[in-house]
Amino acid sequence: MLETPRPQIVFTLTARCRDCYRCLRACPVKAIRMQNGQAYVDEKRCIACGTCIRECPQQAKTFRNDIDVARRLIDDGHFVAASIAPSFAAVFNRWQRSRLPSALRALGIRYVGQTSHGAYQISLESRRIAEENPAGPHIATACPALINYIEKYRPQLVGNLLPLLSPMAAHARLLKEKLGKETKVIFIGPCVAKKSELTRPDVAGLVDCVLTFKELNAWLLQKGIDLSMCEESNFDEKPVHQAQLYPLPGGLIKTAGLDDDGLNLKLLRVDSIQGVRELLTGIEENPEQAIIEPLFCSQGCINGPGVDPGKNLFDRRRDIIEYNEETRAASVTPEPADGRLFTATFVGADSGSSPGSVTEEQILKILAQTGKQDPEQQLNCGACGYDSCREKAIAVALGMAEPEMCIPYMRRLAERRTDQIFSTTPNGVLLLDDELNILGMNPAFKKFFSCSDVILGRHISYLMDPAPFEKLISGVTENLDITVLHRPYNLLCRELLYMLKEEKQIVGIFINITSQQEHEKKLREIRSQTVEQANELLEHQIKMAQNIAQFLGESTARGEELVRKLMSLSESDESNTR
Ligand code: SF4
Ligand code: SF4
Ligand code: SF4
């Protein structure tokens, strides 16, 4: 049987998309394809960072829900273990944390582990590799979005990535070693990009399902499991001190026991897309012997797209640090595992973006389409979502963007159309300020009132009775639909007057109905003449009818007399014959 293809990791709920380009502006790799006013995610380009999910004001960007996958693992009778990311301490309050293991067991999970065990081993390995290979820079990261980014967009830096699994995959390997190869592992954390890790050859078969904390909460709700009704209980694994700090920038370096006062130039931690980009560009241009720990989300995984955004970031950070301290006494320091268990391979990947395939001629042609052939016309304002007009032109050539996305161009076009309507409409258009001074008139209005721009700035009473406009200004009414005879101009107008509240201006539209009125008058005259003539005709016809009737009446009487005579003659003939 054919399996239904899984939806892509990040996608758009098109019915909600309002074509605002915000996701495109925020997407660090411009993986959003604008098509017919909808913002689609191009899976090949997407690094699953989830930035667009956080940014979309309409909640039109979302990620794949894998609750069904997790449920199936349990329903199929597998021994299922959970690997809970250390950022759970930022998501759940203190009383909730102690009940979480029971809630997970109520879902059918048989072993509740902590990803910090995998994180600890990865930190040790990172340190070992970096110390054995002093030539850097070494990029040590637990962030799959960052790895996707380097593989697709900075392949020249792939060799700088430490060839290690993520803490999630490392922990899954430890769990399978400990609980048996048949164990199924569900990772639960803050990260959407972790879902993309499942397709990596190194990770396939280690982690069986990735859920975010949002999905976990939805699953508990579906099952009617209320944390407040669950018993307090322990995880099946004790926490690992310091590795609980992994969700914060610098957590890996700290767990590795490296000098971390934040001022060591050989240990660089960076978070946020902007910071990551700048640092990577920096090391490309000037390679340093340093260990770099980048995380894609601003403030690290505590701000991951799989976390409900209710709690503020500083509280989340505080909760992580406090939890690390509170659990210090109960924590363990695991034995270093065999590093070979955690090796991974990274390779450059095709993002399908290939801007180099677009010719200069194509770019210039597209720029010209939107009136940007001259560099001074290229505003590079970023309103379309691209950093420059040129980048947007390249995106148009690659089918990722549409020419109409240029807002200044569309505004100019609209203004030009409005100007055209303003100057060619047969109706007069008048614009007044809130003191009833004339701000503007179109050619039709000037013709109606035989005036020119010389009267701009003068009070409307110069041309007509200001009373209707005063009514609007006083707020008695918001609009008027009146018919006014302007005798001096021999002009009868239907006038639609209304207030532009925000602009504090009055607009008047004057429809000349003088000739229409004359036409109607003529029609009325013709109609009354016609009625008169019809009456005359009718009278005449009645008379004629009466005459005819009279004539017919006389001839009928004579006819009757004649018939009577003939009948008496025939009767007398008959009696004579007998
Ligand atoms: S942010 Fe993107 S997905 Fe959301 S409404 Fe705007 S264009 Fe659509
Ligand atoms: S998930 Fe990240 S890379 Fe993918 S479309 Fe959204 S912002 Fe862009
Ligand atoms: S910073 Fe953390 S949550 Fe954000 S993409 Fe990277 S791993 Fe995922």
Give the closest residue (by CA) to ligand 2 atom 4.
46
Q: pLDDT digits over 26-44, tens only?
A: 999 999 999 988 999 999 9
pLDDT tens sequence across 456-485: 999 999 999 999 999 999 998 989 999 999
Which residue has the CA at smallest separation from atom 4 of ligand 1?
56
In sequence order, which ranges of 154-231 are alpha helices (DSSP H)?
A: 167-179, 194-197, 213-222
Q: What is the pLDDT of residue 577?
A: 41
Cα–Cα separations (whole angstroms), residue 66 to 189, 209, 295, 297, 331: 13, 7, 24, 22, 31
Long-range contacts of 401-407 (CB under 8 A, 24+ apart): 401/33, 401/34, 402/34, 402/35, 403/366, 403/369, 403/370, 405/21, 405/34, 406/370, 406/372, 407/381, 407/383
Question: Cα of 51 to ligand 2 centre, how many Å?
Answer: 6
**Looking at residue 294, what is its pLDDT?**
95
Ligand nearest to the CA of 27: 2
Residue 433 Cα to ligand 3 midpoint, Å, equals 55
Atom of ligand 2 lying closest to residue 42 CA:
5
**pLDDT value at 284 more than 60:** yes
How far does residue 175's CA lie from ligand 1's centre (Å)?
A: 40
Best probe residue, ligand 1, of 23, 33, 40 (max atoms within 8 Å of C-beta) = 23
Whether 408 has a pLDDT exceeding 80, the answer reads: yes
Residue 400, judged by CB atoms within 10 A of its CB (0-12, 13-18, 19+), counts as buried
Q: CA 337, CA 343: separation in Å to the nearest integer?
A: 12
| % pLDDT > 70, the chain | 93
Q: Is the pLDDT of residue 414 over 50?
A: yes
Q: If you ran DSSP here, which 8-state letter would residue 394 be given?
A: H
Ligand 3 atom 7, closest CA: 143
Any atom of ligand 1 within 6 Å of the Cβ of 20: yes
Is the per-residue pLDDT at 433 higher than 90?
A: yes
The residue to mutate among 22, 25, 59, having the most atoms of ligand 1 within 8 angstroms of its beta carbon, is 22
Q: Of the bound ligands, which one is closest to the alpha carbon of residue 146?
A: 3
Q: Residue 191: nearest ligand to its CA?
A: 3
Among all bound ligands, the one having the nearest atom to the CA of 316 is 3
Three-state DSSP state, 113: strand
What residue type is 474 in one-letter code? S
Per the structure block, which two tokens stand in for 271?
Answer: 């978070």
Q: Return the percentage of the chain with pLDDT > 90, whole number.
A: 72
Say if domain 1-64 classifies as CATH 2.115.10.20.
Answer: no
Please check the confidence at residue 419 and state whether its pLDDT lies above 90.
no
Q: Whose CA is nearest to atom 6 of ligand 2?
A: 52
What's the CA-to-centroid distance between 383 and ligand 1, angstroms?
13
Q: Ligand 1 in contact with 12 (CB < 6 A)?
A: yes
Any idea which ligand is nearest the CA of 26? 2
Q: Listing from the earlier edge strand, what are the strands of the sheet with 291-295? A: 138-139, 291-295, 267-271
Q: What is the model's pLDDT at position 560?
A: 58
Q: Helix 360-369 and helix 389-397: axis angle, to 10°?
A: 110
For ligand 1, atom 2, which residue shows the shortest CA distance?
23
Instruction: Name the residue with the closest Cα to ligand 3, atom 8.
Output: 191
578 band by pLDDT with thresholds 50, 70 and 90: very low
| Rounded CA separation 403/371 (Å) | 11
Q: Please tell me if the CB atom of residue 165 comes closer than 6 angstroms to any atom of ligand 1.
A: no
Pocket test for ligand 3, best of 297, 298, 303 (most atoms within 8 A of CB): 297
How distant, in Å, are the alpha carbons of 98, 105, 186 from that of 171? 21, 19, 11
Q: In this structure, is the dihedral angle defined by the CA atoms of residues 263, 268, 271 and 276, taken in order, positive or negative?
A: positive
Cβ–ligand 1 contact at 270 (below 6 Å): no
Specify the residue with its C-alpha closest to ligand 2, atom 3. 46
Query: Among 204, 202, 205, 301, which residue's Cα sits nearest to residue 250?
Result: 301
Nearest ligand to the CA atom of 21:
1
Q: Phi first, then psi: what are they for 442, rounded to 5°?
A: -95, 170
SS3 content of the chain, % helix, strand, coil (to 5): 50, 15, 35
Q: What's the residue count for the chain?
A: 578
Q: pLDDT tens for residues 494-518?
A: 999 999 988 889 999 999 999 888 8
In whole angstroms, what separates CA 118 from the centre of its chain? 37
User: What's the confidence (pLDDT) of residue 310?
Assistant: 87
Looking at residue 552, what is its pLDDT? 63
Residue whose CA lies nearest to ligand 2 atom number 8? 27
Angle subtended at Cα 138 by Cα 132 and Cα 142, rounded to the nearest 5 degrees: 110
SS (HEC) of 60-106: CEEECCCHHHHHHHHHCCCCEEEEECCCHHHHCCHHHHCCHHHHHHH
* Position in ligand 2 atom list of the atom nearest CA 61: 6
Question: CA torsion, points 311, 314, 319, 322, in degrees to nearest 10?
Answer: -170
Query: How do the domains of the chain map onto residue ranges?
Result: 1-64, 65-337, 354-424, 425-515
Average pLDDT in the 158-176 region? 97
Compute φ and ψ for 374, nearest 5 degrees. Answer: -90, 140
CB count, 10 Å around CB of 476?
9
Q: Is the distance from the beta carbon of residue 17 to the nearest atom of ligand 1 less than 6 Å?
A: yes
Which of these, 324, 401, 502, 292, lies nearest to 27 by C-alpha position? Answer: 401
The answer on pLDDT for 77 being more than 50 is yes
Closest ligand 2 atom, residue 305 Cα:
1
As given in the structure block, the two tokens for residue 44 are 């090949």
Q: Which CATH code for domain 425-515? A: 3.30.450.20
Q: Ligand 3 in contact with 143 (CB < 6 A)?
A: yes
Report the pLDDT value the prediction gives residue 554, as an integer from 0 to 100: 57
Query: What's the confidence (pLDDT) of residue 576?
Result: 46
- Ligand 2 pocket by Cβ (under 6 Å): 10, 27, 29, 31-32, 41, 46-52
Measure 295 CA to ligand 3 centroid, in angstroms: 6
Is the Cβ–Cβ distance between 166 and 193 less than 8 Å?
Answer: no
Q: Which of 298-302, 317-321, 415-419 has the lowest mean pLDDT?
A: 415-419
Instruction: Tell me if 23 CB under 6 Å of ligand 1.
Output: yes
